[in-house]
Amino acid sequence: MRRRAFITLLGGTAAWPLAARAQQRGVPIVGFLSARTPEDSVRERDAYQRGLSEGGGFIEGQNVTIDYRWARGDYGRLPAFAAEFVEHRVNVLVVAGGDAPALAAKAATTTIPVVFAIGSDPVKIGLVESFSRPGGNLTGVTILTNQMEPKRLGLLRDLMPGVSVVGALINPNFPPAVLQLQDLQAAARASGQQMVVAKASSDKELGAGLASLVHSGIGALLVASDPYFDTRRGLIIAFAAENRLPTMYQFRSYPAEGGLISYGPSIVDAYWQIGIYTARILKGAKPADLPVVQQTKFELVINLKTAKTLGVRISDNLLSLADEVIE
């Protein structure tokens, strides 16, 4: 059997005999469900495992088993993955990579503890009763990145004050997409900014949407927060570079990999926190007693090398606001 096929089997149902043996040995099993990919979540997964260790001394492969499911940006796969974890009675179900995995977990179980990392208000989308008293079987971290599109648009305008038309890329299959679009359109109207929107939820639509934005004559681009776009960030960054398009993103990983600028929460801190909460639940805490943590650390990151390549001058004021400048 080829190595890639073998790894694929271990990432799917073939991993369950291993999990069953772990349960027989008294080793707890964590089901980890993400809308993203393992390739674009290396730092996040490391932070999660660090939280597990620091929160309760849990180390993967020693005294805890973690079984991963990656939807790779396809939200339609999430309900089946969640049901699979429930069927095999994992001790804790961890859901990350946007709101969709958390909503799938809530629909799948009312008894298994669920720890989430989401980008929206968990009370408004019906995951918990309140931040301080979640109630039920869910708790976790919200980074509120889905509500920051107007702020990102404002920063993009500060970066490119002479641009008359800005493009926005949105995934219509992302649960918060309707509110994201409403927020962006309201912010654009308030500032007198002309904006063109492209929608994409598949690779075919992504290529066509980006091309349509360029043909519309946009001078800058805002990529709305969405795990699907995170899984395709290499493609989006390359497109922006090829078309000399100044682009705003949500996470540091984008400018770290050659994008121009990002503004958003520290996602690594969020994953560390859900690792802490997972450890506490494995040691006996109940989700209903663990308040939802609201991420308060936000970072503006600018890639100065990319700015020079694009011919974009970063103002001294914007540079002074940056938490990190990549040179």
**Digits of tens for pLDDT over the chain (327 positions)?**
333 333 333 344 445 555 555 555 689 999 999 999 999 999 999 999 999 999 999 999 999 999 999 999 999 999 999 999 999 999 999 999 999 999 999 999 999 999 999 999 999 999 999 999 999 999 999 999 999 999 999 999 999 999 999 999 999 999 999 999 999 999 999 999 999 999 999 999 999 999 999 999 999 999 999 999 999 999 999 999 999 999 999 999 999 999 999 999 999 999 999 999 999 999 999 999 999 999 888 999 999 999 999 999 999 999 999 999 999
d(CA 313, CA 293): 37
CATH architecture of 3-143+266-296: 3-Layer(aba) Sandwich (3.40)
DSSP-derived 3-state class of residue 123: coil
CB-based contacts of 86: which residues, under 8 Å, 6+ apart? Answer: 93, 108, 109, 112
Condensed to tens digits (0 to 9), the pLDDT of residues 144-199 reads 999 999 999 999 999 999 999 999 999 999 999 999 999 999 999 999 999 999 99
- Residue 207, Cβ density class (10 Å: 0-12 exposed, 13-18 middle, ≥19 buried): middle
Contact at 8 Å (CB) between 72 and 227? Answer: no
**Percent of the residues in the chain that have a pLDDT greater than 90, as a whole number:** 91
DSSP-derived 3-state class of residue 244: coil
Fold matches, 3-143+266-296 and 146-265+299-326:
yes
Domain ranges (residues) in the chain:
3-143+266-296, 146-265+299-326
Q: Could you tell me which CATH number the domain at 146-265+299-326 has?
A: 3.40.50.2300
Write down the pTM of the prediction.
0.90
